[in-house]
Amino acid sequence: MFNRADLTAEVVLATMIALIVSTTIHEFCHAWAAYKLGDPTAARLGRITLNPIAHFDPLGFIGMMMLAAGFLAIGWGKPVPVNPNLLRGHRKGMAITAAAGPLSNVIIATALVIPLRFGNVELTGFADTLVSRFIFVNLLLASFNLIPIPPLDGSKILTGILPNFWYQYLAPMERYGFVIILILIVMGGSTLQQMYSPVFSLLSDVIVGGTPL
Catalytic residue among 10, 27, 122, 174: 27
CB 63 within 8 A of CB 180: no
∠ Cα 97 49 148 (to 5°) = 30
Assess whether 27 carries a catalytic annotation.
yes
User: What DSSP state is assigned to residue 198?
Assistant: H
- DSSP assignment of 15-59, as one string? HHHHHHHHHHHHHHHHHHHHHHTT--HHHHTT-SS--GGGG--HH
Separation CA 138–CA 204 (nearest Å): 10
Separation CA 201–CA 129 (nearest Å): 20
Dihedral over alpha carbons 171, 172, 178, 182 (to 10 degrees): -130
Q: How far is CA 98 from CA 64, 68, 147, 189, in A?
A: 21, 25, 12, 24
Dihedral over alpha carbons 21, 27, 33, 36 (to 10 degrees): -90
Residues carrying an active site annotation = 27
